[in-house]
């Protein structure tokens, strides 16, 4: 064992002890004079050229190689839902970070971090680009799936360091992202976020601060957007003043992908690695600034020290991971299942005509299942979070496996949009109304459908992938031969007939990498101009529309015209190079009243949610209309919502029997959902976000009403966080308004009672911690978890403050009839607000109501805490978490794999 390995082992053993220090200054995972001596010995023998080139990377590594000193460079893998290796998932597909936030569980955060770090290590990586702690400011955000904070900074400040500590305990470096204010994807490369300092400090910075102070996160990734006029990776105030200065951060700041626009500004601001193309931190760009004195030598040296320290402290100089066989896939599978079980939120559970709640279902219940989500592999978003599972349980199979008989669960494919299974008929040329199945396809060697087609053939359906030259349908996979669409730009016309199986409007969906128009019976139903929503990460364009009322059994003509210009779309990260067409009924094809319940799987996936663009609040593909008609046919309708965030439920919220928010539930999501629906697992997820009745109620709507305004040639380039501190539930409190479902809300199959609240002291003195103790009792007949939440409410505050703010929570498991006394700690920072002109966290003398309950609106217990003297806390020495929580987010050596 080398000396550096020995140092690493000692440091990990003492890590939690060091982190518990009240006056914590950030340290590296391996501390001590030996590491710093090694870093200095290398630095002192590097010339300026070597130093500059050690701040940039363009060869697939994250930390650059320095072969002269035995440094081969490191490999970093995304993402939040699985380890990306060569556009495939290595190991498990996990639930989204938003799902993890819904568990409100430090244990689940640690389990996820340990499992995905193990897989990163076995895959040959040294770093992973996770977790994300940006806030859920708007339901529009395309990357909500990747963030573990929900809408509350305290929730992220607890869960994020738990994840980081678990990752880094495995010898893998974590990277907190995206620093800072990357709460939207639309025009993310150019948008300037305008927010006052107090808002940034109280809302958007605590998650990052906590990762630095309570986990010593190895790297921080700065974002694409601007913050108050400067690009995030060129923002001296945020990086050098706050992160490295006030917080004493000793780790590395890495750019998001080519997020530095100006070499001097990026270098001076404090970004340490320009990746992945190294476009700005070149010798040609930086040396003139060093020679002229505009960039002092110590600025360059500081970057090199940090990058070297990252190598040496993790022993990546001598002990670089290499790819191996994944011997323990059960680690990831177990973490994925456990997270999904605790993440699914039960939002509604009405009584049936028999007088009992609809859920849980009897295993003998006759169930109809509707929605393609239920019958497909568990999805993930488009972009770096895209993680197709290698093994999985669909929601349909999960239900069938737990039912007393699989025949009790019937899937209704007629209401599922799926290009593989949509039924088409060739246009008739004879006396019969409909001829053989298939679609007539005419391919033109131009983009204007001009002249004679280069080839005409019959396709079994329209699910064409130009990358693989395949067309995959329920009849099998056929190879596209003859005319080669990959040879150049082209256009194609697809014509067919359909014969609806149920009368009423039908929904059509097109997904393609170019412009398209769809007509049904000569009526234009769907069209897209083919302009990508984003110029940097480009997804195929998905649009849906519905027809007029069609009659079951009659034939109707369908015509799709599609154009393709090569190079506009990249078939990666969940994208598509090709064209897909599908259709389905919007009315039930059978008598749903004969079923005991109907499960509708709804929501979004990589087709309409992900990196590079924001999306609307409404459910895509006419799903809201489908749900309303299903619920009308059978009031025992159970809607299971999917996505990184939440969508509009108001059109049908009170019409269905039950609603669950399942997020992106990961590879075991089908099993977890079935266990909850049948009552094998008691739901315990709590909303980490507020669900609006309508998007206009969202506090951010005043400044961000329309993602489309940030797209195209005349895209807006400024976003003001006009709601300030009043994000999410804080904004609802300010307006005295009621959302559809409040922050922290989640039902159970049992009921919990709260009682006997006591404070260890009714007076908080400087430097002290007050323990808030109370009893939680399971008053029902089913065991389960309860998340008890604590909010601080200033009484007659001297400055403008939210009515109340989350400052503590605990998750407790109780058997029927069992009671437990739990404790939540508070300290001065729990009561403080940020003051810009003194750059401090201030606590006023006065009274604070300490309120405890089951969600942000149901707070049954209350006590008053008094501060006798005003207090001023420094930004360096104060901590977002009280001491007991700092200890709770640590990972012991016995927990690692």
DSSP-derived secondary structure for 25-93: ----SS-SHHHHHHHHHHHTT--HHHHHHTTB--SS-SSPPBGGGTB----EE--SSSEEETTEEESPP
Q: What is the predicted pLDDT for the residue at 712?
A: 85
pLDDT tens digits, 67-126: 999 999 999 999 899 999 988 999 999 999 999 999 999 999 999 999 999 999 999 999
Q: Is residue 342 predicted with pLDDT exceeding 70? A: yes
Structural fold of domain 439-585: Jelly Rolls (2.60.120)
State which H helix or E strand residue 269 sits in. helix 263-269
pLDDT at 744 over 50: yes
* Mean of the per-residue pLDDT values of the chain: 93
Alpha-carbon distance 732 to 195, whole Å? 20
pLDDT at 433 over 70: no
How would residue 410 be classed by pLDDT, with cut points 50, 70 and 90? very high
Q: Say what the alpha-carbon torsion angle 841, 844, 847, 851 is, to the nearest 10 degrees.
A: -10
What's phi and psi for 623, nearest 5 deg? Answer: -65, -35
What are the φ and ψ backbone dihedral angles of 549, each rounded to 5 degrees?
-65, 125
Q: How far apart are CA 202 and CA 213, in angstroms?
A: 16
Summarised one tens digit per residue, pLDDT across range 53-65 is 999 999 999 999 9
Please check whether residue 183 is in contact with residue 141, taking contact to mean a CB–CB distance below 8 angstroms.
yes
Tens digit of each residue's pLDDT (9 = 90 or more) over 594-639 = 999 999 999 999 999 999 999 999 999 999 999 999 999 999 999 9
Give me the pLDDT at residue 362, please. 98
Contacts of 182 (CB under 8 A, 6+ apart): 134, 143, 188, 223, 224, 225, 232
Q: What is the pLDDT of residue 31?
A: 54
Provide the pLDDT confidence category of residue 533 given band limits of 50, 70 and 90: confident
Does position 483 have pLDDT exceeding 80, yes or no?
Answer: no
User: Could you give the CA distance from residue 541 to residue 124 in angstroms, rounded to a whole number?
Assistant: 35
Query: Residue 70 to residues 64, 66, 253: CA-CA distances in angstroms?
Result: 12, 6, 23
Q: Helix, strand, coil: what percent of the chain each, to 5?
A: 25, 25, 50
Confidence of residue 436 (pLDDT cuts 50, 70, 90): confident
Does the structural domain 750-895 have CATH classification 2.60.40.10? yes
pLDDT band at residue 552 using 50, 70 and 90 as cut-offs: very high
Q: Quick count: other Cβ atoms within 10 Å of Cβ 215?
A: 30
First to last CA, the chain: 20
Residue recorded with tokens 């839902």: 81
What's the rounded mean pLDDT across residues 483-497? Answer: 81
Residue 521 Cα distances to 9, 496, 756, angstroms: 71, 11, 69
pLDDT for the residue numbered 406: 98
Alpha-carbon span 467 to 512, nearest angstrom? 13
Q: Domains of the chain: which residue ranges? A: 342-406+602-727, 439-585, 750-895
pTM (two decimals): 0.95
The answer on pLDDT for 384 being more than 80 is yes
Q: How far is residue 698's CA from residue 501's CA, in Å, rounded to a whole number?
A: 40
10 Å CB burial of residue 282 (0-12, 13-18, 19+) is middle
d(CA 115, CA 288): 46
Alpha helices in 736-872 (DSSP H): 828-831
Q: Are 193 and 719 in contact (CB under 8 A)?
A: yes
Mean pLDDT of 308-333: 93
- What is 342-406+602-727's CATH number, 3.40.50.10490, 2.30.30.100, 3.40.50.300, 3.40.50.1700? 3.40.50.1700
Residue 256 near residue 266 (C-beta atoms within 8 A): no
- Order of strands across the sheet that contains 752-759: 752-759, 770-778, 819-826
The pLDDT value given to residue 2: 36
The sheet with strand 871-874 has its strands ordered as 833-835, 840-843, 871-874
pLDDT digits (tens, 9 = 90+) for 197-222: 999 999 999 999 999 999 999 999 99
Least confident of 23-27, 345-349, 484-488: 23-27
Per-residue pLDDT reduced to its tens digit, 746-802: 999 999 999 999 999 999 999 999 999 999 999 999 999 999 999 999 999 999 999
11-25, 169-183, 642-656: range with lowest mean pLDDT: 11-25
CB neighbourhood size of 825 (10 A): 21
Overall average pLDDT of the 474-495 stretch: 79
pLDDT band for position 138 (50/70/90)? very high
Tens of pLDDT, residue by residue over 269-302, are 999 999 999 999 999 999 999 999 999 999 999 9
Residue 435 has pLDDT above 90, yes or no: no
DSSP structure string for 532-566? -S-SSS-PPEEEEEE-S-B-TT--EEEEEEEEE-T
Distance CA 363, CA 879 (A): 49
Q: Which residue, chain included where needed, has tokens 């029927």?
A: 816
Helices (H), 403-451: none
Looking at the DSSP bridge assignments, the partners of residue 179 are 222
**Residue 663 confidence (pLDDT) above 80:** yes
Longest CA–CA span in the chain (Å) reads 93
User: Residue 611 and residue 712: Cα distance in Å, rounded?
Assistant: 17
């Amino acid at each position: 064992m080398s000396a550096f390995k020995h140092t690493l082992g000692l440091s990990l053993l003492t890590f939690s002890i060091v982190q518990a220090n009240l006056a914590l200054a950030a340290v590296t995972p391996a501390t001590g004079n030996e590491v710093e001596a090694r870093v200095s010995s290398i630095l002192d023998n590097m010339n300026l050229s070597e130093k500059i080139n050690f701040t940039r990377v363009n060869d697939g590594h994250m930390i650059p190689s320095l072969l002269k000193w035995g440094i081969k460079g490191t490999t970093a893998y995304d993402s939040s839902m699985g380890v990306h290796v060569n556009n495939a998932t290595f190991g498990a597909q996990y639930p989204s970070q938003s799902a993890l936030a819904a568990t409100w569980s430090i244990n689940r955060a640690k389990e996820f971090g340990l499992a995905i770090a193990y897989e990163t290590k076995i895959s040959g990586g040294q770093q992973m680009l996770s977790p994300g702690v940006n806030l859920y400011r708007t339901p529009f955000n395309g990357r909500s799936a990747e963030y573990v904070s929900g809408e509350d900074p305290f929730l992220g400040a607890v869960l994020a360091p738990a994840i980081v500590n678990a990752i880094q305990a495995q010898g893998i470096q974590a990277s907190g992202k995206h620093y800072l204010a990357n709460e939207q994807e639309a025009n993310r490369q150019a948008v300037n976020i305008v927010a006052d300092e107090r808002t940034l400090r109280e809302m958007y910075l605590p998650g990052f601060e906590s990762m630095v102070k309570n986990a010593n996160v190895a790297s921080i990734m700065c974002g694409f957007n601007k913050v108050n006029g400067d690009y995030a990776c060129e923002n001296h105030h945020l990086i050098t003043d706050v992160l490295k200065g006030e917080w004493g951060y000793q780790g590395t700041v890495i750019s998001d992908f080519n997020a530095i626009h100006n070499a001097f500004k990026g270098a001076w601001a404090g970004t340490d690695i320009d990746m992945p193309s190294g476009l700005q931190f070149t010798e040609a760009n930086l040396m003139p600034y060093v020679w002229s004195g505009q960039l002092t030598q110590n600025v360059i040296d500081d970057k090199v020290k940090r990058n070297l320290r990252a190598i040496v402290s993790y022993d990546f100089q001598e002990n670089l991971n290499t790819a191996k066989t994944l011997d323990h896939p059960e680690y990831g599978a177990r973490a994925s299942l456990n997270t999904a079980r605790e993440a699914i939120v039960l939002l509604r559970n009405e009584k049936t005509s028999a007088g009992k709640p609809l859920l849980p279902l009897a295993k003998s219940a006759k169930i109809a299942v509707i929605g393609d989500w239920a019958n497909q592999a568990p999805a993930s978003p488009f972009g770096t979070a895209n993680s197709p599972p290698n093994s999985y349980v669909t929601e349909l199979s999960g239900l069938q496996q737990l039912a007393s008989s699989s025949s009790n669960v019937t899937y209704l494919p007629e209401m599922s949009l799926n290009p593989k299974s949509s039924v088409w008929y060739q246009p008739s040329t004879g006396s019969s109304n409909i001829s053989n199945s298939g679609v007539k396809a005419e391919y033109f060697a131009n983009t204007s459908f001009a002249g004679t087609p280069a080839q005409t053939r019959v396709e079994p359906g329209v699910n064409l992938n130009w990358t693989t030259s395949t067309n995959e349908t329920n009849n099998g996979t056929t190879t596209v031969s003859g005319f080669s669409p990959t040879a150049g730009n082209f256009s194609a016309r697809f014509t067919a007939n359909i014969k609806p199986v149920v009368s009423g409007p039908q929904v059509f969906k097109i997904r393609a990498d170019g412009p398209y128009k769809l007509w049904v019976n000569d009526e234009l139903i769907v069209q897209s101009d083919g302009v990508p929503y984003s110029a940097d990460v480009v997804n195929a364009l998905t649009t849906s529309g519905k027809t007029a009322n069609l009659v079951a059994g009659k034939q109707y003509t369908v015509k799709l015209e599609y154009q393709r210009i090569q190079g506009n779309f990249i078939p990666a990260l969940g994208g598509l190079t090709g064209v897909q067409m599908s259709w389905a009924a919007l009315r039930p094809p059978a008598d749903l009243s004969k079923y005991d319940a109907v499960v509708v799987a709804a929501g979004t996936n990589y087709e309409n949610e992900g990196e590079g663009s924001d999306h609307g609040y409404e459910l895509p593909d006419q799903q809201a209309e489908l749900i309303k008609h299903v619920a009308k046919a059978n009031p025992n309708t159970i809607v299971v919502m999917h996505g990184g965030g939440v969508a509009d439920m108001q059109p049908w919220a009170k019409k269905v029997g039950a609603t669950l928010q399942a997020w992106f539930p990961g590879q075991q999501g089908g099993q977890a959902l079935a266990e909850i629906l049948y009552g094998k697992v008691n739901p315990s997820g709590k909303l980490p976000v507020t669900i609006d009745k309508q998007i206009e109620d969202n506090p951010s709507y005043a400044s961000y009403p329309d993602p489309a305004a940030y797209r195209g040639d005349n895209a807006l380039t400024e976003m003001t966080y006009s709601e300030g501190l009043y994000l999410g539930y804080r904004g609802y409190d300010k307006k005295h308004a009621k959302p559809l479902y409040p922050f922290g809300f989640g039902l159970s199959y049992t009921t919990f009672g709260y009682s006997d609240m006591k404070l260890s002291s009714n007076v908080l003195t400087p430097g002290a911690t007050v323990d808030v103790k109370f009893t939680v009792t399971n008053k029902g007949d089913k065991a389960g978890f309860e998340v008890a939440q604590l909010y601080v409410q200033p009484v007659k505050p001297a400055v403008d403050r939210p009515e109340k703010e989350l400052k503590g929570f605990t998750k407790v498991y109780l058997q029927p009839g069992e009671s437990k006394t739990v404790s939540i700690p508070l300290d001065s920072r729990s009561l403080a607000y940020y003051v810009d002109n003194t750059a401090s966290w201030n606590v006023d003398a006065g009274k604070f109501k300490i309120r405890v309950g089951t969600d942000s609106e149901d707070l049954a217990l209350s006590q008053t805490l008094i501060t006798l003297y005003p207090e001023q806390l420094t930004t360096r020495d104060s901590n977002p978490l009280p001491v007991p929580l700092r200890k709770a987010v640590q990972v012991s050596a016995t927990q690692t794999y």
